[in-house]
Amino acid sequence: MTPSYHLKLAHLYAAQMNVYGDRGNVIALRQRCHWRGIDLSVIPIEPGDQPDWASFDLAFFGGGQDSGQALIAHDLLERQGPGLRAALEDGLVLLAICGGYQLLGHYFLTHTGERLPGLGVLDVHTVGGNQRLIGNIVVEADLPTVGPVRLVGFENHSGRTYHGPGVQSMGRVLAGHGDNGEDGRGGAIYRNTFGCYLHGSLLPKNPQLTDHLIGLALYRRYGPTAHLAPLDAALEHHAQQTMIHRLVS
């Protein structure tokens, strides 16, 4: 008999932080849970909310324009900050894309000179540039439950994110610009927090990462006996490999 699992996902600032199809990442998590009989509740977190962060298993924080980030930065830092930081330190599984990624760092210095403080969960900082880094991207990552995998996505950002010693790189950029267009780093990982610039949407294009995040959440909630049933992802893998073949010689 298949075990009955229930997971709870927090979708941070969906109205303000949702560009380039980022909402598709939540859809992918929900669908791949559904196919396995896992009940995934999705709870929107809006400015002014006071959620119990200890009750969540997964979280998603999408990208947004600088103006969108400015609208929610204070709420994130002052209202959500203490509970969210504690949950992330305790292993809450979070995926953050672009603007969400930037606000998990120490600060984001916009191209106009405005300094937006971040949560400081990730040892990174971001500096806005005058030239946008745009295009398809391939990042070679090594996911513990999967092994080496090439992730595909689409990036469009003017911010340059630089890593400190307190994070590990999510992967090596094989095609595209990556976090800053200089050092070949594509994304950052700290505990179960993953941040990167891969829009597109990232998770529908990369079922290996989707399942890795679900697996981490199951392990944290139910322990090592939790079983993530395999799924047929032949079509997703074919689409992924087609894009990799186009971009990486």
Question: Does residue 3 surpass a pLDDT of 90?
Answer: no
Residues 6+ apart with CB under 8 A from 100: 12, 17, 60, 61, 62, 63, 64, 195
**pLDDT per residue as tens digits for the range 105-128:** 999 998 888 888 999 999 999 999
Active site residue 33: no
Quote the CA–CA distance of 154 and 131 in Å, as a whole number. 16
- C-alpha distances (whole Å) from 109 to each of 125, 127, 142, 210 are 8, 5, 30, 31
Per-residue pLDDT, averaged over 31-54, amounts to: 97
Give backbone dihedrals phi and psi of 213, rounded to 5 degrees, phi first: -65, -45
Active site residue 199: yes
Strands 193-196 and 171-175 come out as unpaired
The reported pTM is 0.95
Catalytic residue, candidates 11, 33, 98, 125:
98
**pLDDT per residue as tens digits for the range 169-217:** 999 999 999 999 999 999 999 999 999 999 989 999 999 999 999 999 9
Catalytic residue, candidates 11, 163, 177, 199:
199
